[in-house]
Amino acid sequence: MIAQLQLDLARMRAAPAVRGPVLTGRVVTCDGGLIEVEGLPLPVGSLGLIENDAGAECLAEVIGFRAGHSLMMLLGDAMLLRPRARVRALGQPGEVRVGDALLGRAVDALGDPIDGGPRLDLPQVWPLGGRREGALERASVEHPFDCGVRAINALAAMGVGQRLGIMAGSGVGKSVLVDTIAGHAVADVTVVALIGERAREVSDFVSRHMGGHRRGGIVVVAVPADHAPNLRLRAAQYASSIAEYFRSQGKRVLLILDSLTRVAHAARELALVLGEPGAARGYPPSALAAVTRLVERAGNSARSGGAVTGVYTVLADGDDTNDPVVDTARAILDGHIVLSRDLAARGHYPAIDIPASLSRVMDDLVPPAVLDAARRLRALIAARESGRDLVMMGAYRAGGDPLLDEALALSGPIDAFLTQPRGHAVTLADSHAALLSLMGGHDA
């Protein structure tokens, strides 16, 4: 406790003195979570504190303005809020605190610890919306990335600085696959954003990954599903800012965002509150634009030599792969992994639909022999799946399709190659060796 107080005193002594009057305003209306404040002209994204009848202060964020009034939304519940309540500005507009002290910690969207540890001393600031780089400042994807999953390493190889989507319906295994990648991927720093998840899942994830030898290289930003939409959106932006900060130091960062769909849901709620009409299946244009802006923040930096490799989960509502969020993400990402409910029902983990999954950078990352073996194996898997119904009904006779005959002969080894126990990692080199052994051994 004394050490914590000493840290707080040192932080207050180092803080620059604010000159001039403190900006304040008054609450005019509160309707459906939208608060209008007069006399407080703040930029969009600024934070403010609103007094309530209990003598406490509620934190709110400016999300727009109208007719000279600032439009704010609470970052919590509207408890005991009254008309003409006093509102005062807080912090630096559009900036968040970052620093090396985040490593090994779990925080919320405001940078406050949720792991029971001491408060963080974060001396650096970073724009919440990121620092936009020119297109030519983004280096190409040239080096392979080891994610620890054999099926991905061998058949949809990732690259350092790539943006990859994991797409599936609910309950198909996205979180389990993300858990494996977060625990075994090779990176200097891993930043995990858990957006709109159940509080129990957040607690389980932190307990699994914050106790081992990798703790000092991981940061968790979590906002459960019952929090305000602007807080959920802010958490995704904050995690991206943390990843950008470490990239500026020349580090290779793995950014995992689970899930991009819930970020789009949060952006949709904000847009509808502000009166923006729904367009694509109820998604306003700004909600889908928020997805694009987040994804574009990942990538390689030619200036610092660092990289942010992005893994984004995308929830296909109703297993519809043409959902607006899925379609928008697929168009901007550098590859996608599709999970199959049918494979999950068979106990096939990870339930990756190989023919539907691809990496747009794989051709530039792996040796020609591995690339050729991967193409042949993908063809065998596609043939087996397309002829599965005929084989199950007994309507297929050997010799009718040589490719299907080959796939059926290798069915057991293929399944053994594609499946992987939860929590077990397979390195990139071992994945390639197993692929060459499977295809080369059959050729022999």
3-class DSSP string for the chain: CHHHHHHHHHHHHHCCCCCCCCCEEEEEEEECCEEEEECCCCCCCCEEEEECCCCCEEEEEEEEEECCEEEEEECCCCCCCCCCCEEEEECCCCEEEECHHHCCCEECCCCCECCCCCCCCCCEEEECCCCCCCHHHCCCCCCEECCCCHHHHHHCCEECCCEEEEEECCCCCHHHHHHHHHHHCCCCEEEEEEECCCHHHHHHHHHHHCCCCCHHHEEEEEECCCCCHHHHHHHHHHHHHHHHHHHHCCCEEEEEEECHHHHHHHHHHHHHHCCCCCCECCECHHHHHHHHHHHHCCEECCCCCCEEEEEEEEECHHHCCCCHHHHHHHHHCCEEEEECHHHHHCCCCCCECCCCCEECCHHHCCCHHHHHHHHHHHHHHHHHHHCHHHHHHCCCCCCCCHHHHHHHHCHHHHHHHHCCCCCCCCCHHHHHHHHHHHHHHHHC
Which pLDDT score, from 0 to 100, does residue 4 have?
Answer: 60
Residue 109 shares a structural domain with residue 126: yes
Residue type, position 120, single letter: L
Residue 192 belongs to domain with CATH number: 3.40.50.12240
- For residue 11, pLDDT over 60 is answered with no
Compare 442 and 100 and report the one with higher pLDDT. 100
Average pLDDT over residues 37-41: 90
Which pLDDT score, from 0 to 100, does residue 442 have?
Answer: 56
- For residue 15, pLDDT over 60 is answered with no
Residue 256 shares a structural domain with residue 176: yes
Average pLDDT over residues 311-327: 85
- With respect to residue 6, please indicate whether it lies within any of the assigned structural domains: no
Crossing angle between the packed helical segments 368-386 and 428-443, to the nearest 10 degrees: 70
Compare 8 and 171 and report the one with higher pLDDT. 171
Residue 103 shares a structural domain with residue 84: no
Average pLDDT over residues 291-308: 91
- With respect to residue 17, please indicate whether it lies within any of the assigned structural domains: no
- For residue 254, pLDDT over 90 is answered with yes
- For residue 265, pLDDT over 80 is answered with yes
Average pLDDT over residues 305-320: 88
- For residue 244, pLDDT over 90 is answered with yes
Question: Rounded to an integer, what distance in angstroms lies between the CA atom of residue 295 and that of residue 210?
Answer: 26
Residue 284 shares a structural domain with residue 249: yes
Residue 171 shares a structural domain with residue 193: yes
Average pLDDT over residues 157-176: 90
For residue 291, CA distances in Å to 163, 259, 288 come to 12, 11, 5
Q: Categorize the per-residue pLDDT at 444 as very low, low, confident or very high, splitting at 50, 70 and 90.
A: very low
Average pLDDT over residues 254-275: 90
Give me the number of domains the chain comprises. Answer: 3
Residue 416 belongs to domain with CATH number: 1.20.1270.330
Residue 169 shares a structural domain with residue 211: yes
Other Cβ atoms within 10 Å of 6 Cβ, number: 10
Residue 359 shares a structural domain with residue 375: no
Averaged pLDDT of the chain: 86
Residue 101 shares a structural domain with residue 64: no
Residue 136 shares a structural domain with residue 227: yes
- With respect to residue 409, please indicate whether it lies within any of the assigned structural domains: yes
- With respect to residue 104, please indicate whether it lies within any of the assigned structural domains: yes
- For residue 10, pLDDT over 70 is answered with no
Question: What are the tens digits of pLDDT across the range 107-145?
Answer: 999 889 988 888 888 889 999 988 877 777 788 899 999
Compare 17 and 59 and report the one with higher pLDDT. 59
Average pLDDT over residues 94-109: 91
Question: What are the tens digits of pLDDT across the range 366-411?
Answer: 999 999 999 999 999 999 888 877 777 777 777 778 888 888 889 8
- For residue 182, pLDDT over 70 is answered with yes
Average pLDDT over residues 158-168: 94
Residue 154 shares a structural domain with residue 81: no
Asked which of 363, 387, 416 is the last residue of a domain, the reply is: 363
Residue 52 belongs to domain with CATH number: 2.40.10.170
Asked which of 335, 363, 391 is the last residue of a domain, the reply is: 363
- With respect to residue 436, please indicate whether it lies within any of the assigned structural domains: yes
Compare 212 and 176 and report the one with higher pLDDT. 176
Residue 299 shares a structural domain with residue 380: no
Q: Which domain holds residue 413?
A: 369-440
- With respect to residue 295, please indicate whether it lies within any of the assigned structural domains: yes
Which pLDDT score, from 0 to 100, does residue 3 have?
Answer: 57
273-310 in b/e form (b: 16+ CB < 10 A) is beeeeeeeeebbeebbebbebbbbbbbbbeebebbbbb
Question: Rounded to an integer, what distance in angstroms lies between the CA atom of residue 439 and that of residue 424?
Answer: 23
Question: Rounded to an integer, what distance in angstroms lies between the CA atom of residue 156 and that of residue 418?
Answer: 12
Asked which of 58, 77, 92 is the last residue of a domain, the reply is: 92
- With respect to residue 10, please indicate whether it lies within any of the assigned structural domains: no
Q: Categorize the per-residue pLDDT at 355 as very low, low, confident or very high, splitting at 50, 70 and 90.
A: very high
Residue 146 shares a structural domain with residue 68: no
Which pLDDT score, from 0 to 100, does residue 195 have?
Answer: 92
- With respect to residue 8, please indicate whether it lies within any of the assigned structural domains: no
